[in-house]
A = this chain, B = another copy of it.
Amino acid sequence: MITLAVDCMGGDHGPRVTLAACRQFLEHHPDARLLLVGLPASLQAFAHDRAAIVPASEVVAMDDPVEVALRKKKDSSMRVAIQQVKDGAASAAVSAGNTGALMAIARYLLKTLDGIDRPAIATQLPNATGGATTVLDLGANVDCSAEHLLQFAVMGSALVSALQEGGEPTVGLLNIGEEVIKGSEVIKKAGELLRSAASSGDLNFFGNVEGNDIFKGTVDIVVCDGFVGNVALKASEGVASMIIGALKTEFSRHIFTKMAAIIAYPILKALMRRMDYRRYNGAALLGLRGLVFKSHGSADAMAFEQALNRAYDAARNNLLDRVRTRIAHAAPLLVPADAQPQPGVAATAQ
């Protein structure tokens, strides 16, 4: 039996969406239990023999500053959900709430794993192979060092090998064309570290990749700092929206194009399904002493259920142990040269 703690209050839609997703999820997973965390009044209508309500008296708003979420709302549904993981009552927590608050609370309550300086956010993006590329970091860390990028690569490898079938996943380091790599010393050094990690069997390093490789599906995992990852993600969403918008405009231009739209409808629907970001909802917060998954704030019930599925798969496949084992194995590479005298310092330093 896998137990997940669900922050039912998070996201743009709150319990209306999260509870609908929870019901679907329980139907699809007969060996799962859910702890529904939130305001009892909002949740009491939900009755299921594998669900229990865990009360929380506060809700982190989507626009709450991190400090407010962390210091003022100590009985928030988000925090209580993560506390369930810390207490061992749940194997993973899932929330559609404010990313910054979720990361801060998760980090405060769960702490980082030995050998990890900074947790990362890993998400999946659909690619041209029909599969998905896992990209990390996506917003948690700006100004990363080469060692941080290596940590992301190791954690991403653990994630993908826990959630996807197939051999050791390939890792690409996000870089720019050969034209101008001068100056990006961090990337060059990260490349060296990743090559060392590949030779010591810690990961399967493909080499440098460029922005378009994320969507070509050149590698299973693309590693970058959080600023670059966030821009790449949002730029891609922007292009996709623009193209979909232009398709709609062109098809609704006049009577003939509207008729064409009716005929092309099944094809367009297949296209939309293929591009549907909801199918890949559920970003992993990696590097913590517990599993936490983040759903998109605007998720509908289908999308939120995907995030629950990913948390369930991660828990069932022991993602936490996998990350821990891999990080321990890669430890000699992860401690920066200047910190060598004090082994383990990286785990507590922050």
Contacts and interface: CB of A to CB of B under 8 A. Distances in A.
Nearest to A235: B211
Interface in A222-263: 224, 226-228, 230-243, 245-247, 250-251, 253, 257, 259-261, 263
B231 A210 contact: yes
B250 A267 contact: yes
Interface of A: 98-100, 103, 126-128, 139-143, 174, 176-184, 187, 210-216, 224, 226-228, 230-243, 245-247, 250-251, 253, 257, 259-261, 263-264, 266-268, 270-271, 274-275
B128 A176 contact: no
Contact of A275 (B184, B243, B267): B243
Contacts of A187: 227
A139 B180 contact: yes
Contacts of A267: 247, 250-251, 253, 257, 260-261, 264
B184 A211 contact: no
Contacts of A214: 235, 238
A213 B174 CA distance: 22
A228 B224 CA distance: 11
Nearest to A232: B235
Contacts of A250: 267-268, 270-271, 274
B227 A176 contact: yes
A184 B103 CA distance: 18
A241 B217 CA distance: 12
